[in-house]
A and B are shown apart, each in its own frame.
Chain A
């Protein structure tokens, strides 16, 4: 395709539309735009030539590459665009200019970042995702949401600042800024970029912003947020750090530790936030396997496919919880239950999402996760493999069973509400359709899972891979059946953590409570000591000022004395000094 449209980064189009939507009072026109734009963007993307720099500018000594598509960015960009479309449909029942505009701009920023070919424009859109997304949390309007959004913004901006510092270093040492893989983690620039990406990907101990903010966002906001920020970081890792061993272990830890929090957490949206963390762990782990041997293609394919499917099914789960929240006003497990009677469609869609995330065969998660698991098995990382296995069981436990069970079944809460609005059901239905469509075997060649595999960065390797082999299906079914069995057993025996309201302490307690306490303490001390220090300070500066004025002012020392005489003496003194110096140095 040629012409000016082919040079247009679809993300830019979306950002522009988002900005327009921000000021567009006509509700239906605005929402029509937000639905039409992702569709147009998908068409633009599908028509774009790959591995070509579509739009670049040379300025300030940097080669800016604004739009470049290749296999890796294509699949991520497509997933982002699909998510943006579903989100727009899901938001149809609301009338909120700020939310519509910011959601669109946020999605656009993520897409634009994905297709950026240089680190400087990546950085710009990286920051833009932070700034636009914070409104989705803020819009919830609660006090908790306000503080959470400020913490969120601070951490996101920190990530951006670190990225910028890293970019500066890279530019200094490398001399160009094209996005390319780092060969070693030793240089400071690589470390800075690594940490910056790590914050966005919610690495262990850098993850708290995610669980802190997502559950506090608006109904639509949480759905939108779940799709972009972390997956953009995953994309950036796949681009810049494939095959770094550190990622394998970080990813493995990431998959395991949220399981414990998720199992005992009461707020179902927070459970989803923890499971988001765990899912990203799978992808990070796969990227870490990236560059060694055969694993390379398999693992990167796994990460990409997983990200694609994950965006859809995690969106679906957040949508179903959003629908519950919209109708009942809460997502606390202790206050829900028995909703399957009043919200049957939502229940079905939620179960499809749950089965996808748990990687049941015939659902999208299976097609994606098999790639990663095979890659890990291939490479012989037994411990990692076991950790991922445990995490898979955990996923089933907290996302696959806990979410639908406590929301729609379990003990009856007595709530009788209406079914979710049609637009929500439509969005969920579409998402569920994608989950199933890319999960089923390729009965018609080119459809089913093969459709997804066809889009992966390493296409040949992906097409050669068959997830529906006996051992894959068998291993997965064993795992799932046993996990379900364990859930049933624990539930029967009453050992499963009951749905109780409460606060789960995570590591963010350290800075939110202890750190805050330290600051208040320091503030009190400062208040006490402050006035005393201020008076001392003013006395000292006042004295210094008097001294300076005495010397320099028109009535001061320097201006005193006869006009000529002082200077004549100075002239003589200086002459003497220069003469003396000349004699000393040359003798």
Chain B
């Protein structure tokens, strides 16, 4: 399939795919701000994200076809250590594909919810902010320059604060949530840039590959270690690593449905990608201080996130908050996979990252549909919806089962891979904790599913009303993907394995 795409694509697309992927949405964003009509802005956004998806697929094909597994693009033709370089290998090709694919689906999904939740004058501005955010996330994933990564991180973050704050139209609590997110996000970004500063002081370069090549000769350098600490904490905060996650539940609960859905499937994933990039490509698991922080910091935090946030999810009364806490718990799974420090562990973590994006995307889409048609997000509001909106709720149920990890769903496969990786290291106790956390997921998703399918509607006037088709289609695409990739794991698992190998600097082992 990739061959057909590479053969059919025009030459300029093949040549400039890395830069077009980011610049297309970034340059369309200010144009959108001037468009008066929200619907046109929406269509343009779909076009922009679809174009990015197209370029992401081209990049994936180029990376897979490339003998070294790397596609490099020098911005402005400045050679590597001096100029900014976009560098794509199997790891970020996978993230780019994820972000752009979710971006397309999310944009298609967005129109009915935006109409309902956002002030009419702000529709175009809203899409403009969304494209900036989207471009920023793609930029973080694609750039090969540590400082440029910071810039894109801030581009995406600042637009995200705006997007979250726009939820104030529906719920005023979106404003403090956005402000809190702003403070915390800024702390995270500052920590990151401080860390980069330390590394620059030690190595004299900002290019990621260049830093990586110099670090082995700088063993014992204090500023490298300080840089490591700041970067891990800064990016950990952005990735909602427990206990630095408390910005997330509020931000996800009060922002517009579309923003929640898009962010839950992409934002933390991209930050996690950046963390993985630094942990495995810049620094290496062989470094003693990294090994120690895997064992004593990341793994305990991952496990604590799995358990603690699952418990918190159990006690929530709001569906979006339940899902938000569950997201933090799922990030815990990924951090756990990463902290094993083996290729199998990293690929399990990345595999879960892909699957979780599909799961949470579908769940938040269904919730968005309910918010739209029934105006409520508490579990009580969901009572009896299984009869009123069977299609929406069946999609929700499929994704919920996948989140729990029922066999034949994608969620089961990723937990299986995580279990293999843990067993390989003899950490059966961690497997037991994963199972326990899944059990908690049964409880918190079970409560919602019970309300949906087995309780009588609290409001008997609720008539049969499905979410609009624009929501149902992307929702079911993701729900069916959950089932398909739960049975045939070849494609996502192959991506995750290649990505893990690329992070370790190995040839893709296919």
A552 touches B311 (CB 8 A): yes
B244 touches A570 (CB 8 A): yes
B229 touches A575 (CB 8 A): yes
The reply to whether the CB of B42 lies closer than 8 angstroms to some CB of chain A is no
Closest beta carbon of chain A to B181's beta carbon, Å = 10
Comparing A38-46, A218-226, A330-338, A560-568, the segment that makes contact with chain B is: A560-568
- Chain A interface helix/strand/loop/mixed: helix
- Chain B interface helix/strand/loop/mixed: helix
Q: Report chain B residues within 8 Å CB of A559.
A: 312
Instruction: Report the count of interface residues on B (CB-CB < 8 A).
Output: 39
Q: How far is the CA of A574 from the CA of B236 in the complex (A)?
A: 10
Closest beta carbon of chain B to A56's beta carbon, Å = 25
Chain A 31-71, CB within 8 Å of chain B: the 1/0 string? 00000000000000000000000000000000000000000
A583 and chain B: residue at smallest CB distance:
B225
The reply to whether the CB of A464 lies closer than 8 angstroms to some CB of chain B is no
B311 touches A579 (CB 8 A): no
Q: How far is the CA of A577 from the CA of B317 in the complex (A)?
A: 35
B232 touches A567 (CB 8 A): no
A581 touches B316 (CB 8 A): no
B288 touches A571 (CB 8 A): no
Q: Report chain A residues within 8 Å CB of B188.
A: 571
Contact of B308 among A558, A566, A584 (CB under 8 A): A558
The reply to whether the CB of A529 lies closer than 8 angstroms to some CB of chain B is no
- CB under 8 Å from chain A, chain B span 240-292: 243-244, 246-247, 250, 288-289, 291-292
A582-B184 in contact given A548-B311, A552-B315 (Cβ < 8 Å): no
B315 touches A549 (CB 8 A): yes
A578-B244 in contact given A563-B176, A563-B180, A564-B183 (Cβ < 8 Å): no
- CB under 8 Å from chain B, chain A span 253-281: none
Interface centre among B247, B250, B315 (most CB of A within 10 A): B315
A578 touches B232 (CB 8 A): yes
The reply to whether the CB of A478 lies closer than 8 angstroms to some CB of chain B is no
Contact of B225 among A553, A568, A582 (CB under 8 A): A582
Q: How far is the CA of A153 from the CA of B296 in the complex (A)?
A: 54
B246 touches A566 (CB 8 A): yes
Contact of A582 among B183, B229, B321 (CB under 8 A): B229
A574 touches B228 (CB 8 A): no
The reply to whether the CB of B293 lies closer than 8 angstroms to some CB of chain A is yes
Contact of A578 among B246, B291, B297 (CB under 8 A): B297
Q: How far is the CA of A571 from the CA of B243 in the complex (A)?
A: 8
B180 touches A564 (CB 8 A): yes
Chain A 100-114, CB within 8 Å of chain B: the 1/0 string? 000000000000000
A578 touches B233 (CB 8 A): yes
The reply to whether the CB of B191 lies closer than 8 angstroms to some CB of chain A is yes
A572 and chain B: residue at smallest CB distance:
B233
A554-B226 in contact given A564-B184, A575-B191, A582-B292 (Cβ < 8 Å): no
B233 touches A581 (CB 8 A): no
Kindly state the interface size class of chain A when it binds its partner: 20 to 34
Closest beta carbon of chain A to B356's beta carbon, Å = 21
- CB under 8 Å from chain A, chain B span 368-382: none
Contact of A586 among B184, B220, B250 (CB under 8 A): B220
Q: Report chain B residues within 8 Å CB of A579.
A: 225-226, 229
The reply to whether the CB of A556 lies closer than 8 angstroms to some CB of chain B is yes
Q: How far is the CA of A552 from the CA of B311 in the complex (A)?
A: 6
B312 touches A552 (CB 8 A): yes
Q: Report chain A residues within 8 Å CB of B150.
A: none
A582-B228 in contact given A563-B180, A567-B244 (Cβ < 8 Å): yes
Closest beta carbon of chain A to B362's beta carbon, Å = 25
Q: Report chain A residues within 8 Å CB of B247.
A: 563, 567
Closest beta carbon of chain B to A555's beta carbon, Å = 9
B244 touches A585 (CB 8 A): no
Q: How far is the CA of A559 from the CA of B311 in the complex (A)?
A: 12
B227 and chain A: residue at smallest CB distance:
A582
Chain B 148-181, CB within 8 Å of chain A: the 1/0 string? 0000000000000000000000000000100010
Q: How far is the CA of A564 from the CA of B185 in the complex (A)?
A: 11
A581 touches B176 (CB 8 A): no
Q: How far is the CA of A551 from the CA of B246 in the complex (A)?
A: 15
Q: Report chain B residues within 8 Å CB of A563.
A: 176, 180, 246-247, 250
A570 touches B243 (CB 8 A): yes
Q: Report chain B residues within 8 Å CB of A571.
A: 187-188, 191, 233, 237, 244
The reply to whether the CB of B314 lies closer than 8 angstroms to some CB of chain A is yes
Contact of B293 among A553, A554, A567, A581 (CB under 8 A): A581
The reply to whether the CB of B230 lies closer than 8 angstroms to some CB of chain A is yes
Contact of A552 among B232, B237, B308 (CB under 8 A): B308
Interface centre among B229, B232, B308, B311 (most CB of A within 10 A): B229
Contact of A581 among B244, B250, B297 (CB under 8 A): B297
Q: Report chain B residues within 8 Å CB of A553.
A: 312, 315
- CB under 8 Å from chain A, chain B span 300-357: 308, 311-312, 314-317, 321
Q: Report chain A residues within 8 Å CB of B315.
A: 549, 552-554, 556
Chain B 180-209, CB within 8 Å of chain A: the 1/0 string? 100110011001000000000000000000
Q: How far is the CA of A580 from the CA of B237 in the complex (A)?
A: 19
Interface centre among A553, A567, A568, A584 (most CB of B within 10 A): A567
Q: How far is the CA of A583 from the CA of B188 in the complex (A)?
A: 22
Closest beta carbon of chain A to B85's beta carbon, Å = 28
A580 and chain B: residue at smallest CB distance:
B229
B176 touches A585 (CB 8 A): no
Closest beta carbon of chain B to A407's beta carbon, Å = 58
Q: Report chain A residues within 8 Å CB of B222.
A: 583
Q: How far is the CA of A553 from the CA of B317 in the complex (A)?
A: 9
Closest beta carbon of chain A to B158's beta carbon, Å = 18
Closest beta carbon of chain A to B164's beta carbon, Å = 13
A582 touches B293 (CB 8 A): yes
Interface centre among B230, B246, B250, B297 (most CB of A within 10 A): B246
B232 and chain A: residue at smallest CB distance:
A578
Q: Report chain B residues within 8 Å CB of A570.
A: 243-244
A576 and chain B: residue at smallest CB distance:
B229
Interface centre among B289, B291, B308 (most CB of A within 10 A): B289
B292 and chain A: residue at smallest CB distance:
A585
Q: How far is the CA of A552 from the CA of B219 in the complex (A)?
A: 42
Q: Report chain A residues within 8 Å CB of B232.
A: 578
Interface centre among A549, A559, A563, A582 (most CB of B within 10 A): A582
Q: How far is the CA of A559 from the CA of B321 in the complex (A)?
A: 12
Question: 6 interchain pairs (CB within 8 A)?
Answer: A563-B250, A574-B236, A579-B229, A581-B297, A582-B225, A582-B226
Known: A554-B315, A564-B184. 19 other contacts (CB 8 A): A551-B311, A553-B315, A558-B308, A558-B312, A564-B183, A566-B246, A567-B184, A567-B246, A568-B184, A571-B188, A574-B233, A574-B244, A578-B297, A579-B225, A582-B292, A582-B293, A585-B292, A586-B220, A586-B289
